[in-house]
């Protein structure tokens, strides 16, 4: 047998491995080979006999994608076995020395495998207890960053002592292999339960309240989880009659039969110390359950409210049987998280109470400031729902929604550099229309009073556009393309209306009234797409349209001033955002 098993083991070697006649080194080599070779796994399955250890190994190989820490997969507990270790000892006696020894632990079976780590069910020899032992998947080849992240997970969880969080027992290193041990939870996870469909609302509220309280404990200790999702919430069966036989398979109990326990702090952020582990712009987490600020890679903006969002996403999944956002690819899901509002839970499940829906949607606000400030506030809301009291989330009035709409900002990273340019545009438009008014009042023909100033205005605007967008005068992203489309369409429509009025022999000055209506429509679209303040500007244009139609002599001046003030407001808004962003960057780099 050569190191690393450069060739497939022979049938005789597999048989010797099965019978326990190989040395520890050779047995370990075959174990590693079997983890990567389906052909040899198939040969192993065809060997005669039903040796206990091989059965465990087969099950471990077959279940490599498991995501739940459950002891039932080993078949070690039974109703007749009063000593929980008796069956384990019988398995050990049948397997002889073939159980893999790892320091003070015996690795019994692989029970979970993730992107960075692998978890085994193990026996701690000194204390004779079953534990979950996690080690880095890359083993001794792990990079320094992987080791650092691994210890960050262990250290984050080790700070926490709460019945709703899986505790850490030991952190250490054995023969260059980093590991830590934690409690072995007898039960399945919430993701397994949700495969059966939505849960009853009151059970959901009870379960989520327990999870929120556990998350608040982590926040109180300065730990933000950043990867809360159903798969990371274990459901430990706490019924007194529990024997272990039915673990992970039977969910015919109400929520009081389970204790939710949070696990997997692999992406946890220590508020005061580990900002360097995730660089700005790097997206980490599970797309369907991560908040928009995390999906956008704004890691410096991730606070406790990020976990509140994830709690809301879990609540949504429990009520509807699906996450608030899901798509065919992870990228499409991230785009939904950033841009799309989730469908109201009652639309997917009419049995959801309105108060519980309101709590859920408050957690899922795109803006962190609109969510519950703490997980405890969410827990208190759920308790009010359970007690039949009015919830704060359901008492939001129409005025609150209107004020929120006015404050809303979208795609600000694409437009905040437009401040000075928009203010310059507003100045040029106001001056041009003032010139039109003066020339019209002096009795000049439309060629001089209207077309000449307007033509010069368009030329100056193009020069300014080139000045402020030296990289490209055309849109460079989807947000800009919509803005371009709206206002190019506006110019085309204004031209078409002007031609129509001219052909019909109508006073051309009525064009300002029709242009005001089209401008109002354009700003309403801007309110939906970029900044809520554009709604106010849109209403101003719509209200001005009738006035412009009955005061044609001053219509050009009024229209130009309205456009100038509107672009000054828009530009000023983005100028302030730009200054705020610069100040924030200086603070972070200072």
Give the count of domains, the chain.
3
19 lies in some domain: no
Kindly state whether residues 246 and 305 are assigned to the same domain: yes
Query: 517, 539, 536, 535: which is closest to 527 by C-alpha?
Result: 535
**Three-class secondary structure of residue 122 per DSSP:** strand
Question: Within 10 Å of residue 75's Cβ, how many Cβ atoms?
Answer: 15
CATH number for the domain harbouring residue 227: 1.10.510.10
**pLDDT value of position 59:** 46
* Helical spans, DSSP H, in 442-554: 446, 452-468, 478-503, 511-529, 534-550
In a domain, 551, yes or no: yes
* Domain boundaries, position 313: 187-396
User: How is residue 347 written in tokens?
Assistant: 């639309």
Contact 422/461 with Cβ under 8 angstroms? no
**Do the beta carbons of residue 515 and residue 559 sit within 8 Å?**
yes
- Domain membership of residue 223 (yes or no) is yes
Q: Which of 364, 396, 428 is the last residue of a domain?
A: 396
The Cα–Cα gap between 550 and 509 comes to: 10
Which of 183, 204, 230 is where one domain is finished? 183
Tell which of 396, 421, 452 closes a domain: 396
Asked if 173 and 193 sit in the same domain, the reply is no
179 and 191 share a domain? no
For 132, the 3-state DSSP assignment is: strand
One domain for residues 456 and 478? yes
90 plus 141 within the same structural domain? yes
The reported pLDDT for the residue numbered 399 is 58
Q: Is residue 35 part of a domain?
A: no
Instruction: Take residue 555 and report the two structure tokens written for it.
Output: 């219509």
Residue 116 in tokens: 């960075």
Same domain, 372 and 237: yes
Judgement on whether residues 269 and 362 belong to the same structural domain of the protein: yes
Instruction: Tell me whether residue 10 is in a domain.
Output: no
- pLDDT tens digits for the chain (590 residues)? 444 444 677 766 776 666 656 665 666 667 667 766 766 766 665 665 444 444 444 444 444 433 333 333 323 333 333 333 343 444 443 333 345 888 899 999 888 776 677 889 999 998 889 999 988 776 555 667 667 777 776 777 777 889 999 988 888 888 878 888 999 988 888 999 999 999 999 999 999 999 999 999 999 988 888 889 999 999 988 754 444 434 344 555 566 678 999 988 766 665 554 444 444 445 567 889 999 998 888 877 789 999 999 999 999 999 999 999 999 888 899 999 988 889 999 999 999 999 999 999 999 999 898 899 999 999 999 999 999 888 888 655 555 666 666 667 777 778 888 999 999 999 999 999 999 999 988 988 878 888 899 899 999 999 998 888 878 888 888 888 999 999 999 999 998 998 898 888 888 788 999 999 999 999 999 998 888 899 999 999 999 999 999 998 999 999 999 999 999 999 999 998 888 777 766 655 55
Do the domain assignments include residue 11?
no
Q: Please identify which residue in the block is written with the tokens 């949700």.
A: 194
Cα–Cα distances in Å, from 264 out to 65, 119, 245, 356, 576? 15, 11, 25, 27, 40
416 beta partners? none
Sign of CA dihedral 427, 433, 436, 440: negative
Q: Are residues 362 and 290 in the same domain?
A: yes
* Together in a domain, 578 and 443: yes
Q: Which residues pair with 94 in a beta bridge?
A: none
16 located within any domain: no
CATH number (domain holding residue 99): 3.30.200.20
Global confidence as pTM: 0.60
Q: Please tell me whether residues 120 and 233 are part of one structural domain.
A: no
Give the number of residues written for the chain.
Answer: 590
Does 204 share its domain with 352? yes
Cβ(109)–Cβ(120) under 8 Å?
Answer: yes
Question: What percent helix, strand, coil does the chain show, rounded to 5?
Answer: 60, 10, 30
pLDDT at 390: 85
Q: What is the pLDDT of residue 191?
A: 92
Phi, then psi, of 434 in degrees rounded to 5: -65, -40
Q: Indicate which residues carry an active-site annotation.
A: 227
How far is residue 537's CA from residue 539's CA, in Å, rounded to a whole number? 5
Asked if the structure places residue 153 within a domain, the reply is yes
Q: What is the pLDDT of residue 27?
A: 66
In this structure, the answer to whether residues 163 and 262 fall within a common structural domain is: no
Q: What is the DSSP string of 262-307?
A: E---TT-EETTT-GGGS-TT---S-GGGS-HHHHTT-GGG--HHHH
Q: Give the other-Cβ count within 10 Å of 176's Cβ.
A: 9
């Amino acid at each position: 047998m050569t190191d690393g098993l450069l060739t497939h083991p022979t049938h005789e070697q597999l048989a010797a491995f099965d019978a326990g006649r190989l040395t520890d080194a050779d047995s370990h080599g075959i174990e590693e080979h079997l983890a990567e070779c389906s052909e040899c796994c198939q040969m192993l399955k065809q060997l005669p006999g039903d040796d206990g250890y091989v059965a465990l190994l087969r099950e471990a190989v077959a279940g490599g994608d498991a995501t739940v820490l459950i002891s039932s997969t080993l078949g070690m507990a039974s109703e007749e076995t009063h000593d929980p270790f008796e069956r384990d000892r019988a398995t050990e006696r049948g397997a002889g020395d073939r159980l893999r020894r790892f320091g003070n632990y015996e690795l019994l079976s692989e029970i979970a495998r993730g992107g960075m780590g692998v978890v085994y069910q193990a026996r701690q020899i000194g204390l004779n207890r079953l534990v979950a032992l996690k080690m880095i998947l890359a083993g001794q080849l792990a990079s320094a960053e992987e080791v650092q992240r691994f210890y960050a997970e262990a250290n984050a969880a080790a700070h926490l002592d709460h019945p709703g969080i899986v505790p850490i027992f030991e952190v250490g290193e054995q023969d260059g292999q980093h590991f830590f041990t934690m409690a072995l939870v007898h039960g399945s996870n919430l993701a397994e339960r949700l495969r059966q469909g939505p849960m009853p609302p009151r059970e959901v509220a009870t379960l989520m309240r327990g999870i929120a309280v556990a998350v608040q404990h982590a926040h109180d200790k300065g730990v933000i989880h950043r990867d809360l999702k159903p798969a990371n919430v274990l459901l430990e069966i706490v019924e007194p009659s529990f024997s272990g036989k039915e673990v992970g398979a039977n969910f015919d109990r109400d929520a009081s039969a389970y204790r939710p326990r949070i696990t997997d702090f692999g992406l946890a952020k220590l508020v005061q110390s580990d900002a360097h582990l995730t660089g700005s712009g790097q997206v980490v987490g599970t797309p369907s359950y991560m908040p928009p600020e995390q999906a956008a890679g704004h890691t410096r903006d991730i606070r406790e409210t990020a976990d509140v969002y994830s709690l809301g996403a879990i609540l949504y999944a429990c009520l509807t049987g699906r996450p608030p956002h899901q798509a065919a690819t992870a990228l499409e899901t991230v785009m939904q998280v950033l841009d799309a509002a989730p469908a109201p839970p009652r639309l997917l499940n009419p049995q959801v109470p309105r108060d519980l829906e309101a709590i859920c949607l408050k957690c899922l606000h795109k803006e962190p400031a609109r969510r519950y400030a703490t997980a405890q506030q969410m827990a208190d809301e759920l308790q009010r729902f359970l007690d039949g009291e009015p919830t704060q989330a359901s008492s939001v009035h129409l005025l609150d929604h209107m004020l929120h709409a006015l404050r809303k900002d979208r795609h600000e990273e694409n437009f905040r550099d437009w401040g000075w340019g928009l203010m310059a545009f507003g100045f040029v438009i106001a001056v041009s229309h003032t010139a039109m008014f003066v020339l019209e009042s002096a009795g000049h023909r439309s060629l001089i009073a209207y077309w000449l100033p307007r033509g010069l205005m368009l030329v100056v605007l193009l020069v300014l556009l080139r000045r402020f967008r030296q990289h490209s005068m055309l849109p460079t992203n989807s947000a800009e393309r919509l803005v371009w489309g709206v206002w190019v369409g506006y110019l085309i429509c204004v031209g078409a209306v002007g031609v129509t009025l001219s052909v019909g022999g109508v006073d051309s000055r009525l064009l300002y009234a029709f242009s005001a209506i089209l401008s109002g429509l354009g700003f309403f679209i801007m309110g939906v797409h970029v900044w809520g303040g554009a709604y106010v500007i849109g209403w101003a244009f719509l209200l001005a349209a009738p006035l412009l139609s009955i005061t044609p002599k001053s219509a050009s001046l009024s229209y130009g001033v309205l456009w100038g003030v509107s672009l000054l407001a828009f530009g000023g808004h983005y100028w302030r955002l730009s200054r705020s962003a610069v100040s924030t960057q200086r603070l972070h780099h200072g």
